[in-house]
A and B are shown apart, each in its own frame.
Chain A
């Protein structure tokens, strides 16, 4: 326990010295403030954006809320559809053979590439954004639940043979619980994916959202607002990942992470 606090202190010191170093580099003019605004300036901008709509038309809390909403809805559907699909692909051979090649082809296409297609399907409302995020989280959800089940499949077979359990019983009582940690890893990757694809999704017809804020700030050349947007994405992303890891530790016994 004492050792743990020591490392936490080191972490904090590390973060602070990183910020100080950054401040020093920026203020000493080694890199001009135009290229790397000082942290103090960014903090100022952050405070300013909390209550001010300029230059992009909405305050920072509204942007954050919009992005969180879109990312979480997309993530939710990605998990709800992706995990069962991954499990069925791993469990039912014909399913596997039917979907796998298609899936392998679609997998490498980056979410940004889907943007124009999603607009034509879902129009300009929130749905087109959610659907881009959905794809980004759906794919890792499928992959991980698929390999989670696959990895232990042989063992399940022996178990079912030995005890005469039905295929369904084995699936629900043994295979899925034992794939739990893998599925959670998938959820973590999926959450990361949905958050990462946010900016791409908000290239579509947006008036708010962190991605939109960054885009507009780029256009008007407010590099400080760009930085604030990027850092907010980073901090919120990190917080959500930690939250999910916490959930995993609570829910899955014998998780992958020791």
Chain B
């Protein structure tokens, strides 16, 4: 009798564990209401468009019920995508992983990312060698000065790509430097205490560290390749919520047009977005960032070489071994242009 009770209790404890998981999955599947749209952003530049759309109240006019979700980094955002929690997202280079693992689609661009920058301290010998590669006269560094140095960067991001591209351009082998992977947040602190020789930062860090610490930029990613922030759509939403996605994309381009027409407004919105997320909104730094990072307006979207930056970053991830080469090919196939072409057809 006692044993039976024990066994039953064990079962009773184990069962809800699995039942819970089962319930969750069915729940997220039934949440496919035509007007409900989960929008993924991060507390960085990529959130400003979504915030602007929210503040203008455009979504309601279009009959969209927006659930804006702020993720602190690409990892959690991608996990949430796998769990089916959002439909459309604003994302940088980490979109590659979300697409590969969840058969999500890249449907358009929202920004041209600039400002990923390599810095050295004022007294670095790297500053003595400028324009070693004549194609890039503004870039500092040479094989003699860079070999053996320590580089701090955030792995798996466009900063990682910057480091690889940089080393290639100045003719230094990837293994001839020591690479220290680190969040740029911690990277700033560490570099300030005198660790490392070169550090990579994105905006808004790259806009402020020069003034704060006197660090000198030696190269930026946009010197070498173009990189973009993209609109990524879950497989489910791509197939079943196409109309809502297109409505939202229309708003994204509309916001881009308004914000690009008025950079002062863009900077102020950026300040607001940062303060909402617990960061100091420095208006000057935001002005610079607003100048530097260009939102993709309909004209730009139509004229740019769509899919090229995406292909470059996928090849980069395959090169460093984060993904398999055939996954990179699969990714390129998931960069689709039909949605934005339809959305912008009448523009």
Contacts and interface: CB of A to CB of B under 8 A. Distances in A.
B50 to A, nearest CB: 22
A32 B97 CA distance: 19
Contacts of A251: none
A31 B156 contact: no
Interface in B80-137: 82-83, 94, 97-98, 100-102
A68 interface: no
B230 to A, nearest CB: 16
Contact of A31 (B22, B75, B78, B321): B22
A123 B21 contact: no
A119 B321 contact: no
A53 B321 contact: yes
A219 B74 contact: yes
A168 interface: no
Interface string B264-285: 0000000000000000000000
Most buried by A among B74, B75, B156, B320: B75
Contact of B186 (A36, A116, A219): A116
A215 interface: yes
A114 to B, nearest CB: 13
Contact of A55 (B14, B79, B94, B322): B322
Contacts of A119: 186, 189-190, 193
A124 B82 contact: no
A157 interface: no
Contacts of B78: 218-219, 221
Nearest to B317: A220
A110 interface: no
Most chain B CB atoms below 10 A, which of A53, A115, A205, A215: A205
Interface string A189-222: 0000000000000011111000000011011111
Interface string A218-241: 111111000000000000000000
A89 to B, nearest CB: 33
A257 to B, nearest CB: 22
B150 to A, nearest CB: 9
Contact of A206 (B14, B76, B181, B324): B181
A6 interface: no
A59 B180 CA distance: 18
The majority secondary structure among interface residues of chain A is: loop
Contacts of A203: 183
Given A54-B321, A54-B322, A120-B189, A35 B83 contact: yes
B220 to A, nearest CB: 23
Given A35-B82, A53-B321, A120 B193 contact: yes
Nearest to B156: A219
B59 interface: no
B243 to A, nearest CB: 26
The CB with the most chain B CB atoms within 10 A, among A34, A124, A221, is that of: A221
Nearest to A31: B21
A227 to B, nearest CB: 13
A207 B181 contact: yes
Interface string B315-347: 001001111100000000000000000000000
B101 A57 contact: no
B195 A124 contact: yes
A1 to B, nearest CB: 21
A55 B323 contact: yes
B321 A34 contact: no
B204 interface: no
A220 B82 contact: no
A221 B186 contact: no
A25 interface: yes
A217 B194 CA distance: 30
Nearest to B19: A30
B143 interface: no
A34 B83 CA distance: 8
B307 interface: no
The residue in B18, B83, B98 that gathers the most chain A C-beta atoms within 10 A of its C-beta is B18
Contact of A54 (B79, B190, B196, B324): B324
A220 B323 contact: yes
Nearest to A29: B25
Interface in A52-70: 53-57
A21 B19 CA distance: 12
20 contacts: A25-B18, A25-B21, A31-B21, A31-B25, A34-B82, A35-B21, A35-B82, A55-B321, A57-B320, A119-B193, A204-B182, A204-B186, A207-B181, A219-B94, A219-B156, A219-B322, A220-B317, A221-B101, A221-B102, A223-B101
Given A25-B18, A215-B75, 12 more contacts: A35-B21, A36-B21, A115-B186, A216-B322, A219-B75, A220-B101, A220-B156, A220-B317, A220-B322, A221-B100, A221-B101, A221-B102
